[in-house]
Structure 1
């Protein structure tokens, strides 16, 4: 069983809670990466899912899920319990992921990791929409925002990185002339460098390029990306397995402590980052479609 984290307490009322709640921290893709994933997802939402998402969003979002896709990072200092839900640590150099072995927090509490969180918030949303007569037990807006963020996080390869280096957080390198840890390179710096080098510092242009690749280069892969085995609503275990494999093949390789990462690393890793953003967006949409398509619960939500 995956955990029920229960009804989440908002740190302020209504829109204020979703606008600015607590300090901003670096977890998961940076703001640009999460924005891109949710923007891509919006293009693949069914009519019913899009309606449900828009009605769950607070007014401050203006109907745009991408505007709040980084909310889970911004409130993690207030919701301290949520920090462990952004990642799953895997055994050093095993290069594989196993839910029963790996999904726990640093205190050993089971199910407290990014894949467990995805199962949990999927369950909260699906159960609420499956029974229109039941009393609402969950904050469905926060469930939507957490789910959208964590589906993005699990696609960042180092969010399934090694326990010994905290997913690359303790591996200090230079990104060109700047000091950084390897995790931050994958969260932010590859995307930042791509924006400046190839996209005129315009995130919109980068997102459009990724969307074009989805319809052109990756068009034959989209059905496989969307698929969830055994008719499951969410399948984050597969995404985490992909991530740790990519971490071993690309993130950790040639990135030893003290090394300088420049063009060779950047240009060979950027396609991995952009494909993971694409997969995260397509899969978030597919998950939301499976949750919302069959049972509208909007009036009571």
Structure 2
């Protein structure tokens, strides 16, 4: 009986799902970037965010970089007004074929292309402040999205949304995407040393510099590879073979192995976002 009570309590102790990387993941990526940008870039972001009323999204404020990090998800329920951005959060590049970002980014409707586009918009000081503030919010969010592996690679299954899994005792509607989007990410980020400062404390200046390197396409390829090797590879010995029948379980041993992978991705996202913000604003 005690064993069942402990299991029941553990189930309700788990966080409830929200957004991609869930809110906590996006906010930590944003906070890392804020801590790592130059004072000049932070000053310009403060100036832009002070104008957040111009976005006319009172239910989705952008008063801080943490709020900006979830704005692009928050506006989804606003319907036709922002429906154009629905496909900008991901790119479904098949993990069992050659990496082909161009096919997944036709007409710029993918997360990699929108990172590059919004970085350009943010840097263009001839544009109205409202447009640059919107670009800032999109950029902060999309860099986080790209570093969630199942926003960069899949097997034609909507980024793992059609792959049922159990996260320990949690099953029901849980799938591979939601397990990585939230449960594993929150577990990894909250593992000591926790949060933005905790993740940064594990990195020397040289290691930070290395993680900031590369192009957006390099980052996309890296995330795509993690999707194949670690996301699908955790539930199937061969990630390109048929998925196991039933509902594979992502257990504690799997989670312990994945925690450093996810922590690295979150740190990379924050440091790379800081670089893009410095290039645009610093």
CA shift at 1:214, angstroms?
2.2
Secondary structure of 1:28's aligned partner: coil
Matched, 1:140 2:132: yes
Q: Which of 267, 271, 281 is 2:270 aligned to?
A: 281
Partner residue, 1:184:
178
Structure 2 unaligned segments of length 5 or more: list them: 1-16, 53-60, 236-242
Distance 2:37 2:93 in 1: 32
Distance 2:141 2:169 in 1: 30
Distance 1:137 1:68 in 2: 15
1:116-195 → structure 2 map (5 Å cutoff): 116-126=113-123, 128-129=124-125, 134=126, 136=128, 139-179=131-171, 180-194=174-188
Give yes or no for contact 2:161–2:176 (8 Å, CA) kept in 1. Answer: yes
Q: Which of 22, 30, 41 is 1:38 aligned to?
A: 30
Matched, 1:68 2:68: yes
Q: RMSD over aligned Cα, in angstroms?
A: 2.3
CA shift at 1:101, angstroms?
2.1
Structure 1 unaligned segments of length 5 or more: list them: 1-24, 105-109, 229-234, 294-301
Give yes or no for contact 1:84–1:112 (8 Å, CA) kept in 2. Answer: yes
| Aligned residue pair count | 244
Give yes or no for contact 1:97–1:240 (8 Å, CA) kept in 2. Answer: no
Q: If the length of structure 2 is used for normalisation, what is the TM-score?
A: 0.79
* 1:172–1:97 CA distance, 2 compared to 1 (3 A): same
Matched, 1:93 2:96: yes
* 1:84–1:27 CA distance, 2 compared to 1 (3 A): farther
Give yes or no for contact 2:93–2:101 (8 Å, CA) kept in 1. Answer: no
Distance 2:198 2:129 in 1: 41
1:4-43 → structure 2 map (5 Å cutoff): 26-43=18-35
Matched, 1:223 2:209: yes
Q: Which of 210, 235, 254 is 2:234 aligned to?
A: 254
1:75-90 → structure 2 map (5 Å cutoff): 75-78=75-78, 79-90=82-93
Distance 2:220 2:199 in 1: 21
